[in-house]
Amino acid sequence: MATPSTQWAERVAPDEAERFAGYARRFAQMQQRKSQRYGNGRALHRRQLLALPAQLHVLSDLPAHARAGLFAAPGQYDTWVRLSNGGTDRAPDARPDIRGFALRVLGVQGEAALGGAARTQDFTLINHAAFAFAGSDEFVELVMAASRGVPALLAHFVQRYGVVGALGQLARLKRTFGKPFSGFATEAFYSAAPLACGDYACRVRLLPPPGAASAHAARDWAGDMRARLAHGPLEYTLQLQFYVDEARTPIEDASVDWPEAVAPYVSVARLVVSAPARDDSALQQQVENAVFDPWAALAAHRPLGEVMRARKVVYYESQQQRHAQA
């Protein structure tokens, strides 16, 4: 086990501003096309499965490197939870996909990552410990091709990687999207990319409460959660994993899963998720209309690395388009 270090650094490429603006335009075009089919919505994680009320309880007696921003002192915060399928389409639950567990922590105070005063702290988590690609370029090209269907995706792989390389990419894609998923109450979720924790850098993990998976959960992910919550609140554990050095816990390469043997997770908060009200239509709509963005954050938790910097530009354009059409 290594000691958390503050000697991390970001490496910003000179072409990022131009490149990210291009990504944003392409995502906006794709989002517009999908919204014409499904109605106004997000570019990614379009299908909201369930919105839930929760409370985040920040723990006491945290180690010094964890006591920053939201975790500087013990406290309790009302929180919104948004569960989603990650794709660009409104696909059925049984289809393999990335699953999203997003948190919007309400009532925070402090300087915001984008300037001004912060009122919320968002964590956008997925059921993968690391990003599928080291940087954003390959991811953007994949999403653009996949959004037009399987033939376009296959053509993209062959054009970019050749026939042999395309087979390898298809195998990797199958591993990523075909990862077994047992449900939102029985899986861990991750930030996959890093963010700041004061002077330190970290990644985030959310551990599920104890409990067995349901063999029928995949038929209805939201129904599985509602059934569990009917028996009482579900308590998750929010954890941080800290940067130790560039070789083992890189900031810019989001495809590297930081090893726990080197950088163990530290539990910093409990997330207590409650059952929604019997008529929760207002909450469902409020959360669907809300923004969940890693850059909607305290400055102490500023997102880090190339993937997160790309998200800042792309998410903003997506949000502007979605709200303009609301």
Count of structural domains, the chain: 1
Tokens of 92: 């059925």
**Region 111-132 average pLDDT:** 96
Residue 290 included in any domain = yes
Rounded Cα gap, residues 323 and 326, in angstroms: 5
Residue 8 included in any domain = no
Give the number of other Cβ atoms within 10 Å of residue 282's Cβ: 11
Residue 123 included in any domain = yes
**Residue 270 to residues 1, 32, 75, 172, 198: CA-CA distances in angstroms?**
24, 38, 11, 34, 20
299 Rama sector, left if φ>0, alpha if ψ -120 to 50, beta otherwise: alpha
More confident residue, 74 or 144: 74
Residue 9 included in any domain = no
CA 76 to mean position of chain CA atoms: 22
- 260-304 pLDDT tens trace: 999 999 999 999 999 988 889 999 999 999 999 999 999 999 999
DSSP 111: B
- 310-320 pLDDT tens trace: 999 999 898 99
Q: Give the side-chain half-sphere CA count within 13 A for 254.
A: 25
Residue 2 included in any domain = no
Can you give the pTM of this predicted structure?
0.94
Tokens of 3: 């000691």
Question: Please, is 215 exposed, middle or buried when counting C-beta atoms within 10 Å of its C-beta (0-12, 13-18, 19+)?
Answer: exposed
Residue 99 included in any domain = yes
**Region 26-42 average pLDDT:** 91
Rounded Cα gap, residues 269 and 60, in angstroms: 9
Residue 206 included in any domain = yes
Is pLDDT at 326 greater than 70 in this prediction?
A: no
Give the number of other Cβ atoms within 10 Å of residue 57's Cβ: 17
**Residue 162 to residues 23, 83, 319: CA-CA distances in angstroms?**
24, 37, 36
Residue 309 included in any domain = yes
Could you tell me if 312 and 295 are in contact, meaning their C-beta atoms sit under 8 angstroms apart?
yes
**CATH number reported for the structural domain that contains residue 78 in this entry:** 2.40.180.10
Q: Give the amino acid at 163.
A: V
Domain that holds residue 215: 16-324
